[in-house]
Structure 1
Amino acid sequence: MPPVSSFAIDVPDTLLTRARAGRQDAFEQIYRWFERPVFTLALRICGDREEASDVVQDTMLKLFHHIGEFRGGSPFWGWLRQIAVNEALMRLRRNRRFDMEIAMDEDDLPQDHGSLPPAAADAALLQRALSALPAATRSVIWLYHAEGYTHEEIARLMQRTPSFSKSQLARGTRRLRTLLQIEEPSHA
């Protein structure tokens, strides 16, 4: 079963109708509901808070200008998620930060000696490990594991092949295991 996206928010038809009619209050409500999921997705893909904030703004502007193109038939959140993914990937390409292969060097993560609750410490460690990965690898891992995209869908989004997605996922997973000091499962 694919993971449930943080975008999986049901938007009432009445709210969409008001947004299509240009009602500012409807756009503000949609913005409030989706600001955090768009920011999180953009941060995971771009690896930079400022870039992620820009992706939120670009995504919401595109939503504002193209809301009339959403015809239904699929969830609104899926349509908006697709806009956000495209905006984040376009920003990476535009900034030439789109590394196409994972670097196989073994840089250590910066140490943080603050005391956090175990779950928060694990989340912070995972965030630092993800940020140590090249943008393309981090994007594949996030799109596959967190957003539930298939390798074929990732390949289309990134204008690559499914084998590229699969190899980046495998290499990125190995690199994350190393950075997080998780032992590889043995194949007996």
Structure 2
Amino acid sequence: MTDQPPNPARSSFAIDVPDALLARARAGDRAAFEQLYRWFERPVFTLALRIGGDREEARDVLQETMLKVIGRIGEFRGSNGSPFWGWLRQIAINEALMRLRRDKRLAQEVGIDDTDVFSEDTAPPPPAAADAALLQRAMANLPAATRSVLWLYHAEGYTHEEIAGLMQRTPSFSKSQLARGTRKLRTALAIEEDLHA
């Protein structure tokens, strides 16, 4: 069985950036950087907010991410057909997780119980029909590590192995947090789980 999310979502970062715009940005064209900022502002902010849970911190992650993109744009080569948006998303994730590690929130909020039950085909979070504001509040109440795993797995389409690498943990940690977070969301949203589905 492969370790893929049930229905990998298309990342909000998946914006096709024209080669001409990238060339202008590499040449230091300010208008090109402004265009990139406008295109990626919302995806970076949303990802940072979902991982960190704090709007002010999400703004800081957005600024740091875009400053790193500007400073390192010459490093992006697009080798093996990798898109610019994937490179930028990786910078944003690293920045958001680095802040959690620095604040020691990844380590202190999550106690891992080896007996924690998880399933390879853990059901996705509640359907999109659920009240978005209620879901957002429920996500905000989860520990940072759990919230991060849920977001990276369901919204960004990362595998448990990839999440483990990003968070410097094991795939079992990712699976455990996904199961735990899904259960907590279901409880918070009072959604009955259909065991016979």
Considering the TM-score relative to the shorter chain, is it more than 0.5?
yes
User: Equivalent residue of 1:53, what SS?
Assistant: helix
Aligned to 1:66: 72
The aligned runs of 1:148-163 (5 Å cut-off) are: 148-163=157-172
Amino acid at match of 1:169: L
Is 1:25 the counterpart of 2:31? The answer is yes
- Please, what is the CA RMSD of the aligned residues? 1.8
Give the alignment partner of residue 133 of structure 1, picking from 142, 149, 160: 142
CA distance in 2: counterparts of 1:19 and 1:176, whole angstroms: 41
Q: Structure 2 unaligned runs (5+)?
A: 1-6, 113-127
* CA positional deviation for 1:121: 7.5
Amino acid at match of 1:181: A
Count of aligned residue pairs for this structure pair: 173
Deviation >3 Å, runs of 4+: none
CA distance in 1: counterparts of 2:170 and 2:58, whole angstroms: 26
CA distance in 2: counterparts of 1:97 and 1:36, whole angstroms: 24
* CA positional deviation for 1:187: 4.4
Query: C-alpha deviations, 1:94-142, integer Å up to 9, x for none?
Result: 122222348xxxxxxxxxxxxxxxx897000000000010000000000
The aligned runs of 1:1-188 (5 Å cut-off) are: 1-72=7-78, 73-98=81-106, 99-101=109-111, 122-187=131-196
Q: Structure 1 unaligned runs (5+)?
A: 103-118
Percent of paired sites with the same residue: 80
CA distance in 2: counterparts of 1:76 and 1:28, whole angstroms: 16
CA distance in 2: counterparts of 1:126 and 1:152, whole angstroms: 26
CA distance in 1: counterparts of 2:111 and 2:137, whole angstroms: 19
